[in-house]
Amino acid sequence: MVGTATETDRAWAVLRQVPDPEVPVLSVCDLGIVRAVHVRGRGVDVVLTPTYSGCPATEVIAQSVHDALAAAGFGPVTLTTRRAPAWTTDWISDEGRRKLRDYGIAPPSGQAAVHDGAVPIRIQVRGVDCPRCGSPDTERLSAFGSTACKALYRCLACREPFEFFKPI
Amino acid sequence: MTAVAESLRLNLTPPVRYVLRWADACLIHAQRLSEWCGHGPVLEEDIALTNMALDLIGQARGLLTLAGQLEGQRFDEDQLAFLREEGDFLNPTLVELPMRRSSAHSPGGDFADTVVRNLLLATWLKQAWQRMASSSDAELAAIAAKALKEARYHQQHAADWVIRLGDGTDESHARMERALARAWPYTAELFAGDTVDEAAAAAGLGPSRAALRDDWLREIDAVLAGATLARPADTPFVSTGTQGVHSEHMGFILAEMQSLQRRYPGGTW
């Protein structure tokens, strides 16, 4: 039996409440890592994709998704990891970008840097606006940040440091 | 009485060997990078080195899982990482050489060795992932497409450092020169050819290492030019880690990496 549209909608609604453990202001749906939801009767299959190969949150996210759906009455809940196509920050929703900015993290542009990398000079990411004061006058402090997905920046206008969600 | 985990007996067919080589290159490189955790020259770099190690471990996990499926006995990523004998590890020798810590044949401890190695390997892996992204094996293609994005960032970061230190003070330039001279003889193995590579290339599984050399050299030369460093001359020496014949340093890495699972088989926390 194929799940009704209502049940599928309900499953998505549950998933929109599951936070990313590293950036709790974002749900797993905002992040774009829920690739498919199939409801069959009371059971549900969810297809997830990892953000970074080594992201330590991957297992926690899978557990959270499982527990939230089970708590909402779905069962059995099966999770599948799908690597292809590879996750890109372009999949972060507009709502997700707004939430990131409000949280103090500069969101990625939505146009992941595509470059052949033939000459490995530093890619100067443009358009990293300060999430606090909005100034485009910012500089990178560190290529890597507190999690795999972020870099550390500083605003030269308001002098506040902030995190930037790296576009990939 | 203490339990001791038995080592795996593996059926190392050419495709399994091919995938294990890339898995082990990532795994052992990550293990060496992890030695910097808490010891980075500056906090930002401590975070960078361990973040890169984390990406590499993630890549290794996917590749080890795939190797386990191809091998046929359903060994998982943990069993393959923790219960293999040294001779069944197939990483190039370069990744196992001491980097942060000193040893009899390597001074270690110089950050220059780390940034040089990161550049050489990130550029190599990037070239490999680019080609492997169109592998005939869908899972290998997916792992590579993802790893490619990460390797690009690693390469850029390593190139930043090589240029900053190479084109830096007389002291930093001299240290970079020595680090490059130490690492260079081990790069021959990164492009050595053999039947495992030929079979993988013929089957469309992935590129031969030899096929990566021209593009790798072009990118390395560009960075070295920016760093005012001369490329060392090639030597006849070819290391043999990818054949399972390792340097004296490998056993110590495995002793540290595997001790817990050997002592407490199947232990979890």
Contact A53 B58 (CB under 8 A): yes
**In which element (H, E) is residue A36 found?**
strand A34-40
Contact B153 A166 (CB under 8 A): yes
A74/B104 Cα distance (integer angstroms): 60
Contact B150 A52 (CB under 8 A): yes
Q: What is the ipTM of this complex?
A: 0.85
Using a pLDDT cut of 70, give the percent of chain B over it.
97
Is residue B2 over pLDDT 80?
Answer: no
**How near does any CA of chain A get to the CA of B187, in Å?**
19
Among B7, B200, B23, B13, smallest CA distance to B95 is for B23
Q: How confident is the model at residue A5 (pLDDT cuts 50, 70, 90)?
A: confident
Q: Which of A50-54, B172-176, B187-191 has the lowest mean pLDDT?
A: A50-54
Of the partner residues A118, A122, A142, the one whose CB lies closest to the CB of residue B47: A142
Contact A84 B155 (CB under 8 A): no
Is residue B163 over pLDDT 90?
Answer: yes
Of the partner residues A84, A85, A118, the one whose CB lies closest to the CB of residue B219: A118
pLDDT in the model for residue A31 = 93
Is residue A125 over pLDDT 80?
Answer: no
Q: How confident is the model at residue A54 (pLDDT cuts 50, 70, 90)?
A: confident
Is residue A12 over pLDDT 60?
Answer: yes
Contact A144 B58 (CB under 8 A): no
Among B123, B154, B131, B139, smallest CA distance to B201 is for B131
CB contacts < 8 A (A, B): 92
Is residue B244 over pLDDT 70?
Answer: yes
Kindly report whether the global pTM for this prediction surpasses the value 0.90.
yes
Which of A102-116, B30-44, B226-240 has maximum average pLDDT? B226-240
Among A12, A71, A64, smallest CA distance to A38 is for A12
Q: Which residue of A has its CA nearest to B223?
A: A120
Is residue B250 over pLDDT 50?
Answer: yes
Q: Count Cβ atoms below 10 Å from residue A34 Cβ, excluding itself.
A: 22
Q: What is the largest CA-CA distance in chain B?
A: 60
